[in-house]
Structure 1
């Protein structure tokens, strides 16, 4: 097990050394090598005290802890069967209460027709524990797979409470997108819809198996938004319908050293999508070739229709779509 961790750590160092430096700012201070202080789960049972779920509803827009063993109590918290349900999963070093996850939460609440579940697995993904979160690349129990299994348990309990699978969407950013994808491995029927916001790339692309990574087989409809493709986010087409925003690599308004620009661009997928859900901005996807990120001239296609990017895009949409967002979208992140 330790040898696997050293291999992963060595790969991370290669990525760090190969990253360009700007304005004399090094990204080395961002790396904390106290890696083995990270939480490494030795059990694989759900529910788990380090994976928590919080319910928000239009009537109760504040966090209410959900005990998956007693989901019959959901209506007392404001959960309504008539509404759609969204499960929002944060990524590495995130929490349910950090921006831009809170932007996504508030965007769905603003629609008034969603029960919003926030998935918090932050104790297992704290900086610098990215390698720990990815430890399922060998056959021992991982934090990452546990997060997917426990979230799948919540999903199952919601359906047992009467919700239709068609009315449940898992929205995940970065590693959270892969958590959404892995949930279907723990369900008797795969999910209906997943929205992946710049699914994580570092180490995943080299060490992650097909079962580990979000793919179009994980749900009947998988929608992906790319904003830092090829660096912190996965590149190329992943889902049934992928949206390559502003070329897919760097986003307007992101400034600072190279890693901060990348992180800002990575988080912009969540901020853009939250704004689209709120219907505050209009994002139009134009059919284009399947590459993302894109270099130079973009090759557009005319055999498919343009689509509006939000949570209600036509589920018959297929292929890669190019999206231009010209204005700078405020996207604070920690």
Structure 2
């Protein structure tokens, strides 16, 4: 028992120093037993790019007075462990999306549940966070502010697992698309489809793997799985956290700046060996669902920005 406790504490310290928002509150948080906490939803549009409008679940009047345009697509952004609505990925992705299209961006803030040094506590809160997001999506739909065909949920790490649970819990339709950015692996690798992100959670699920078997999942769980640089270690990175977060950096760069071309692979082994010779497709291409794209894809990147390599001749 003593050995187990020592290993547990060491693992917590390792995860905490590699987390997004490490604030050195280890002893205050390691035994945290708070519930999932309040999940908050903040809307960003071209009318309010930098100042989000909070829309509480069930508050119809605030929803009606907001800038949410029911005729535009809705993209949900979900942060990971120790993060909040203002993480770098959320801020940069919001701006890039609004530069590209006139859409609604909704940041899901579950920082009350995520702000614990105890990774396992945060992971155990994921299903409830997903249920709350599912109820919020239904709330928008029942008030005619959302078309399920125009919904995309994008989550990083534990946020990707939240996205999966949200997809499982919507009651009025089915989410069109989920993008999982290196979905969190610890705890979730051992779960079946009911307990983690899975291709059944949306009409189309695309997963980008950058730290498989470490902080990220070691399973192929999407309609399409894009494996970067063999999937476990990213060029230019020293620690697993760096490789884990590269998924967000690749995705942000792909929105407006540079495409990431990947080759289709015959199997997972070929992808891990970067020995794929199939057709070229674009990681994160909005047209991938319409093409009914399926399979495993491998791509390589540079070790520093810009991460995208030269577009291949096709």
Regarding TM over 0.5, the answer is: yes
1:32 aligns with: 26
| Cα distance change of structure 1 residues 299 and 191 upon mapping to structure 2, 3 Å threshold | same
Distance in 1, Cα, partners of 2:284 & 2:250: 9
Equivalent pair of 2:270/2:276 in contact (CA under 8 Å): no
| Cα distance change of structure 1 residues 285 and 32 upon mapping to structure 2, 3 Å threshold | same
Which residues of 2 match residues 201-280 of structure 1 at below 5 A?
Answer: 201-206=185-190, 208-255=191-238, 261-277=239-255, 279-280=256-257
Q: CA deviation at 1:283?
A: 0.5
Q: Where does structure 1 lack aligned partners over 5 or more consecutive residues?
A: 20-29, 43-48, 136-142, 256-260
Q: Deviations over 1:255-310 (max 9, x none)?
A: 4xxxxx21111111111101111x20110121014427955x423143xx321122
1:51 aligns with: 39
| Cα distance change of structure 1 residues 101 and 9 upon mapping to structure 2, 3 Å threshold | farther
| Cα distance change of structure 1 residues 16 and 154 upon mapping to structure 2, 3 Å threshold | closer
Aligned length: 295
Q: Alignment partner of 2:268: what SS?
A: coil
Which residues of 2 match residues 187-202 of structure 1 at below 5 A?
Answer: 187-188=170-171, 189-202=173-186
Q: Deviations over 1:202-239 (max 9, x none)?
A: 22223x34312101111111000111111111124210
What's the RMSD between the two structures over aligned residues?
A: 3.1
Q: CA deviation at 1:171?
A: 0.6
Q: Deviations over 1:168-200 (max 9, x none)?
A: 111110011111101133222332211100000
Q: Alignment partner of 1:40: what SS?
A: coil
Greater shift in the superposed pair: 8-17 or 100-109:
8-17
Greater shift in the superposed pair: 79-88 or 104-113:
104-113
| Cα distance change of structure 1 residues 119 and 311 upon mapping to structure 2, 3 Å threshold | farther
Q: CA deviation at 1:37?
A: 4.0
Q: Alignment partner of 1:100: what SS?
A: helix
From 60, 63, 66, the counterpart of 2:55 = 66
Q: CA deviation at 1:36?
A: 5.1
| Cα distance change of structure 1 residues 71 and 112 upon mapping to structure 2, 3 Å threshold | farther
1:317 aligns with: 293
Q: TM-score, normalised by structure 2?
A: 0.83
| Cα distance change of structure 1 residues 34 and 71 upon mapping to structure 2, 3 Å threshold | same
1:24 aligns with: none
Distance in 1, Cα, partners of 2:222 & 2:25: 32
From 257, 264, 267, the counterpart of 1:287 = 264
2:78 aligns with: 89
Q: Alignment partner of 1:195: what SS?
A: strand
